[in-house]
């Protein structure tokens, strides 16, 4: 699964730790999701969407889907 987490985070000038604190997860978790090494659960994906004020599909895309 692809995601725009890094771009969205950079736009807001947040560090991985900042985003982790907002989500209640570790910096390692944010790093793993950002790099596509770990796909978050649906509840965490909703939480991420809420933090950015976007819909899930505006952040996460299927592998090979157009950005």
Distance of closest approach, residue 63 Cβ to another protein, in angstroms? 18
Q: CA-CA distances (angstroms) from residue 52 to 6, 22, 56, 64? A: 12, 10, 10, 23
Helical ranges in 1-67 per DSSP H = 5-11, 16-23, 27-34, 42-52, 56-59
Q: Does 17 contact another protein by CB under 8 A?
A: yes
Which residue, 8 or 45, has its beta carbon nearer to another protein?
A: 45
- Binding-site member from 6, 14, 18, 29 for another protein (CB under 8 A): 29
Q: Does 45 contact another protein by CB under 8 A?
A: no
Tokens 């596509």 belong to 36
Q: Which residues bind another protein (CB under 8 A)?
A: 17, 24-29, 31-33, 35, 37-38, 40-41, 44
């Amino acid at each position: 699964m692809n995601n725009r987490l890094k771009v969205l985070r950079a736009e807001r000038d947040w560090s991985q730790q900042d985003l982790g604190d907002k989500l209640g997860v570790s910096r390692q978790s944010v790093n793993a999701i950002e790099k596509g090494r770990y796909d978050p659960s649906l509840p965490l994906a909703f939480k991420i969407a809420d933090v950015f004020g976007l819909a899930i599909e505006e952040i996460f895309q299927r592998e090979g889907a157009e950005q």
